[in-house]
Structure 1
C-alpha cells in the first residue's frame, strides 16, 4: 500500500529523530510496550493463546493499540504485536509459548537443516503479520508511526538450535565452533528470510524497522564479527536495495544488538542502519563519542529502574536526557531492553512524562 492509502501523520517525531533531525523533545517508546504488564493485554490473553494473537490481525492490532490508547499523547511510536520467532515458524519449525518459547524439535545437528523449508514464501507463511500491520496503521489514524521488526539471524539461529531460551547458549556455541561453515550458511539463509519479511512489512505499512539481536552480547567480539555481523550487514543493505528496486520509499532501520557495545564503531561505519539501539551498559556520552553525530541512537534506561519508584525513575531519566544531549545527533528515548511483566503501568506513564519533561530542556 502507498502512504496515500493511510491517514495523514499527526506525529512524525520518531521518523525525524531517526533521520538525525532535531526534535521538540526526544520521541519515546519502549520495547515490548504491547505486553504482559498491561491488564488489558492480560484480559485478551485469558481467552487467546500467544501465537493465536500474533496470527489474528484483529487481535494483534488491538493489543498494539492498547498502550497508544492508555498513554495518549505520551508515546511517539507503536510497534506491531508479533514475535521474532515467527521467522523460524515460517521456515518450518514448531514453536510453542508456555510461557517462554520452546521448540519441540530443535536443530540438533546440521543434518536437521534438511527439515527446514527449502523456499519460504513470506506472503503465505507470514501474511498475517502484513495484514495486522495494515489494519493497525489505519487504526492508529496517524497518531504515531508504526514499527515493524524481525529477530537478527544469529539470535534466531541460537533459538532454533537451543530449542528455547538459555543462559549459556551451549548448543548454539557448539554449532558455531564445531560446524562453522554450516552455521554461517544457515545464518545467512535466515537473513534472506528476514529481508523478505522486512520488505513485506514496509509494503504493508510499517514506517520504521527494527532488527533485534538479543543475544549479540553472548558472542566474543571476533565471533560476533564472524557469525553475526555479516548477516546484520546483509539485512540492512539488501532491504534497502529491494525497496529501491520496487520504487518504495526507504524507511529508517534500527539495529538493537544487545550487549555488543564493543561493536558500535563497526556497526556505525560498516552497516547501513540509521539508528543504533543501546542497552544500559554503556554511557550515552561514550556511545556518541564512538559513533559520531551522524548516526541516531536509541535507548537506554535499565528497565529495572521502573521498579525503583518515581524518584529513581525521574532521577535516571534526567541523567539519561542530559547524557544523550552531549555531542548532538538524533536520539530516540527507550529502555535498554524490553519492559518486564511486573511493572506498574503508572510507573511507565511517569517514565514517559519524565522523558517529555527533561528531553525538551
Structure 2
C-alpha cells in the first residue's frame, strides 16, 4: 500500500442531481444520502477525504443564509469529510454568451457561489478547490459567430475571474463537448488565452469528457486520432500526449472518471461524454494509468498541481448509485490513482 496522502480523494455530489428530477428521468438523490454513501465507503482502511458540491437545490440553495452555510459545514465535517470545489449553477436562465440580462444572471451565479465557497473556507472546512463554470451556451448558437462569441464568453469569464480573485478564489472551465466555445481542445485553449487570466481562470479536466476531444466530437476539424481508429494503444497514447501537453498548463482541477467512448444525456441534460462506473468492462480508460497524462508533466514528473482530485460519474441509474459497493469500487480506483501519481506530505 502506498503511503501517499496527496492529492486528497473527493467524491462529487452532483450525480445525485444531474440528469434527474424531470418527468422522463429518475428522482434526485438527496445530499444526505450521497454524503452517507461517500462517508461509508472504505477500502483497506482508506476512506474518501471530502466532497465537491453543486450549489443547486435540493442539495445547496444558491441563496443559502450564513446560518445555512454554517450548518452545511458542520454536517459535512461531522461525517469526517472536507469540502473542495463547488459548481456554480450558471445554466439556468443565464449564459456567458447571451444578452446583457443572461450574462448578468450568469455572473450573479458566480458571485453567489464565490460567497459560499469563500465562507466555507473561512469556516475551515474547505482547504482547497475552485469554482467551476461552463459557458452555458449551445454549440449550435456559438457556431453562428465563432470569433465574436468566443470573445463574448472570454469577456464574461474575465468578469467572473475578477469576482473570484477578490475573494482569493479561482475559476475553472470544464472541457465538455456540449458547451459552446469549449467543445474542442483548441476552442478551449483559444477561450482561455483570450480570457488572459492564467492565475485565476483555468481549466477543469474530466477524464471522461476530455477523452472525447481526441475524437473530434462536435468539432471534427480538431480530431486528433485518425478516422479509422479502433482504440489502438499506440495511437491512444500519442493522442493523449497531444491533448494533455496542450491543456495541462491550464489545468487547475481534475476529475477521475470512466468513459466508453459514446455520448449520452438524460433528463434535461444535453448529450455529452458518457460516464461509466469504475469497473465497467466497456470503459476505454485505464483509470490508474491514464490519470497520469493529467497528473504528471511531459517528463513524467508528478506536478502536484491539484491538492485534491474528485470522482465524477453523472447519469448512473439510482439503483447503481444507491449500492454501497459502487462507491467502494470507485474509491478503490481513486486510491490506485493516488498510489500511482500522488505524493506524501
Common fold, TM-score beyond 0.5?
yes
**Superposition deviation, residue 310 in structure 1:** 5.0
TM-score, normalised by the number of residues in structure 1: 0.55
- From 70, 76, 84, give the equivalent of 1:134: 70
| Cross-structure match for 1:27 | 9
Tell me the secondary structure at the aligned position of residue 135 of structure 1: helix
Q: Secondary structure at the match of 2:81?
A: coil
Change (3 A) 1:360 1:198: same
TM norm structure 2: 0.57
Compare the two structures and name the one with the higher helix fraction. 1
What is the match of residue 173 of structure 2? Answer: 255
Note the C-alpha offset of 1:268: 4.2
2:111 matches 1:196:
yes
CA RMSD of aligned residues (A): 4.3
Corresponding residue SS for 2:35: helix
2:15 matched to 1:79?
no
Is 1:282 aligned to residue 219 of structure 2?
Answer: no
| 1:231-252 alpha-carbon deviations (Å, 9 max, x no partner) | 22211222222x2xxxxxx244
Give me the whole-angstrom Cα distance separating, in 2, the residues matched to 1:148 and 1:238: 15
Residues 75-130 of structure 1: per-residue CA shift (max 9 Å, x gap)? 3431345428999xx9xxxxxxxxxxxxxxxxxxxxxxxxxxxxxxx8xxx135x5
**Kept in 2: contact 1:79–1:146 (CA 8 A):** yes
Deviation for aligned residue 1:256: 1.9
How far apart, in 2, do the equivalents of 1:26 and 1:314 lie? 25
Cα distance change, pair 304–202 in 1 and its aligned pair in 2 (3 A): closer
Q: Secondary structure at the match of 2:160?
A: helix
Structure 1 residues 63 and 146: alpha-carbon distance in aligned structure 2, compared to 1, 3 A threshold? farther
Question: Which of 262, 269, 273 is matched with 2:201 structurally?
Answer: 273
| Alpha-carbon distance, 1:353 to partner | 0.8
Task: For residues 184-223 of structure 1, give each alpha carbon's deviation from its aligned partner in whole angstroms, at most 9, with x where no partner exists.
Answer: 3123311341243023203531533433327556233436
Distance in structure 2 (CA, Å) of the matches to 1:30 and 1:356: 16
Q: Provide structure 1 residue ranges, at least 5 long, that are not aligned to the other structure.
A: 1-21, 38-45, 54-58, 91-121, 160-171, 177-182, 244-249
Q: Which residue of 1 aligns with 2:254?
A: 298
Between the two proteins, the alignment pairs up a number of residues equal to 257
Q: Is the 8 A contact 2:279 2:329 kept in 1?
A: no
How far has the Cα of 1:319 moved from its partner? 3.8
Matches within 5 A, 1:69-218: 69-71=39-41, 73-80=46-53, 82-83=55-56, 126-128=63-65, 130-141=66-77, 143-152=81-90, 155-157=91-93, 183-205=98-120, 207=126, 208-213=129-134, 215-216=136-137, 218=139
